């Protein structure tokens, strides 16, 4: 079993992978220290000064002590430098502190946190995401490593059906390998029949329920998505992105654009564009615009725009806009 390091910083835009690394580290910590030695914090409610205080406090836990802190992308560099870095420099040798940052273009783990973890002799790992144009070749290569052949159209269909998260794509490819066996050729038909699309359907079902002002269905659908471990922040972004895509297509069709013109620029390739086209044809552009503006509040809440936790704020927003 690997030994715990004094400090960790797991960060990057692949939120699913960051969460997975956090879960694995928690399991390792419990195996080595017991549940009583683990302390968990959310940076939304615990600033660098609070973590510094926790590092300096003696606990009743015997043996190794592990602090797991999520959401560190919200912290300011100056606060880490002034409060947390000095505490980490003198923390007990029987302590492990692990920071997790689910980053995006605007929120990044502070540079001072990188330096503090490095100075403590810790481990820093970045979990990045591929660009959209890189996903299909990546999926094809991963399929080959599993001894199956995924063609280009099948790769586009898979991305459109289950989303752009690499961990989810890999899980689906592993399922294909088990279901079809070594040497199998996977195309659009096999993807359509076998790939799990429950999250995609539920996301669109949530959008549909909000537009229809079906409050009960909207709330229940959101809770189902959270049960599938969908991150609230990523969920808000996915919903708004889907609405914007369909709104753009609906407006272009309404203005007389051809199918190819209306579907131009939609992520996921031609397969995804066709699916969005079908949705746009039955949608009212004005209602879509109103829903997009309202659902943008979900993204704001998920990025620390509320004093409440993400789920509470998101449920309140859905309840309000679907009333």
- Its pTM stands at 0.50
322 or 143: whose pLDDT is higher?
Answer: 143
Final residue of a structural domain among 178, 194, 210:
194
Q: Is residue 71 part of a domain?
A: yes
Q: Is 229 left (phi over 0), alpha (psi -120 to 50) or beta?
A: left
Q: Mean pLDDT of all residues in the chain?
A: 81
Q: Are residues 110 and 149 in the same domain?
A: no
Q: Are residues 14 and 71 in the same domain?
A: yes
CATH of residue 153: 1.10.8.60
Q: State the pLDDT confidence band at 268, using cuts at 50, 70 and 90.
A: low
Q: Are residues 15 and 44 in the same domain?
A: yes
Q: Are residues 89 and 173 in the same domain?
A: no
Summarised one tens digit per residue, pLDDT across range 34-71 is: 877 889 998 878 999 999 999 987 654 557 889 999 99
Q: Is residue 179 part of a domain?
A: yes
pLDDT in the model for residue 252:
84
Q: Are residues 190 and 264 in the same domain?
A: no
Q: Are residues 28 and 115 in the same domain?
A: yes
Final residue of a structural domain among 66, 92, 126:
126
Q: Are residues 59 and 88 in the same domain?
A: yes
pLDDT in the model for residue 99:
97
What b-and-e string marks burial along 74-109, b requiring 16 or more CB atoms within 10 Å of the CB?
A: bbebebbbebbbebbeebeeebbbbbbbbbeeebbb
Q: Where are the alpha helices (DSSP H) in 111-214?
A: 111-119, 132-145, 152-162, 166-180, 188-194, 198-211
Q: State the pLDDT confidence band at 229, using cuts at 50, 70 and 90.
A: low
pLDDT in the model for residue 147:
93
Q: Is residue 21 part of a domain?
A: yes
Summarised one tens digit per residue, pLDDT across range 10-43 is: 999 888 778 888 888 888 888 888 877 889 998 8
Q: Are residues 77 and 20 in the same domain?
A: yes
191 or 293: whose pLDDT is higher?
Answer: 191
CATH of residue 309: 1.20.272.10
CB atoms within 10 A of CB 43: 20
The range of the structural domain enclosing residue 169 comes to 132-194
Hey, what are 118's tokens?
Answer: 């490095």
Q: Is residue 117 part of a domain?
A: yes
Summarised one tens digit per residue, pLDDT across range 93-119 is: 889 999 999 888 788 999 999 999 999
Q: Are residues 276 and 218 in the same domain?
A: yes
Describe the chain by its helix, strand, coil percentages, rounded to 5. 60, 10, 30
Q: State the pLDDT confidence band at 75, using cuts at 50, 70 and 90.
A: very high
Q: Is residue 1 part of a domain?
A: no
Final residue of a structural domain among 126, 161, 179:
126
Strands of 7-12's sheet in order across: 38-42, 65-70, 95-102, 7-12, 123-126
pLDDT in the model for residue 90:
92
Number of domains forming the structure of the chain: 3
Rounded to whole angstroms, the Cα distance separating 62 from 78 reads 33
Q: Are residues 232 and 269 in the same domain?
A: yes
pLDDT in the model for residue 2:
67
Q: Are residues 175 and 203 in the same domain?
A: no
pLDDT in the model for residue 108:
93
Q: Is residue 74 part of a domain?
A: yes
CATH of residue 115: 3.40.50.300
Q: Are residues 210 and 280 in the same domain?
A: yes
Hey, what are 312's tokens?
Answer: 């509470």
With CA atoms as reference, report the closest residue to 28 among 42, 8, 53, 11: 8
185-186 and 149-150 as β-strands: parallel, antiparallel, unpaired? parallel
* Whether residue 76 has pLDDT greater than 90: yes
Q: Is residue 166 part of a domain?
A: yes
Q: Is residue 25 part of a domain?
A: yes
């Amino acid at each position: 079993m690997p030994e715990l390091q004094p400090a960790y910083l797991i960060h990057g835009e692949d939120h699913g992978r960051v969460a997975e690394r956090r879960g694995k580290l928690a399991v390792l910590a419990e195996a080595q220290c017991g549940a009583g030695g683990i302390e968990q914090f959310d940076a939304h409610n615990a600033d660098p000064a609070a973590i510094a205080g926790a590092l300096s406090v003696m606990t009743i836990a015997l043996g190794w002590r592990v602090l797991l802190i999520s959401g560190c992308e919200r912290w300011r560099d100056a606060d880490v430098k002034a409060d947390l870095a000095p505490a980490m420099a003198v923390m007990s040798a029987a302590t492990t502190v692990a920071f997790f940052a689910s980053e995006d273009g605007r929120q990044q783990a502070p540079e001072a946190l990188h330096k503090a973890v490095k100075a403590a002799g810790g481990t820093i790992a970045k979990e990045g995401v591929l660009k959209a144009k890189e996903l299909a070749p990546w999926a094809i290569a991963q399929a080959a490593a599993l001894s199956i052949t995924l063609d280009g159209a099948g790769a586009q269909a898979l991305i459109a059906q289950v989303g752009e998260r690499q961990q989810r794509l890999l899980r689906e490819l592993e399922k294909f390998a088990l279901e079809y066996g070594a040497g199998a050729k996977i195309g659009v038909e096999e993807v359509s029949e076998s790939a799990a699309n429950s999250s995609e359907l539920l996301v669109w079902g949530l959008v549909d329920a909000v537009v229809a002002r079906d409050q009960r269905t909207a709330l229940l659908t959101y809770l189902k998505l959270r049960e599938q471990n969908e991150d609230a922040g990523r969920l808000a972004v996915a919903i708004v992105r889907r609405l914007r895509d369909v709104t753009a297509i609906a407006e272009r069709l309404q203005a007389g654009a051809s199918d190819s013109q209306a579907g131009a620029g939609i992520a996921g390739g031609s397969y995804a564009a066709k699916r969005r086209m079908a949705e746009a044809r039955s949608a009212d552009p004005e209602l879509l615009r109103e829903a997009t503006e309202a659902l943008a509040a979900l993204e704001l809440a998920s990025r620390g725009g509320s004093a409440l936790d993400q789920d509470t704020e998101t449920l309140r927003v859905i309840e309000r806009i679907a009333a």
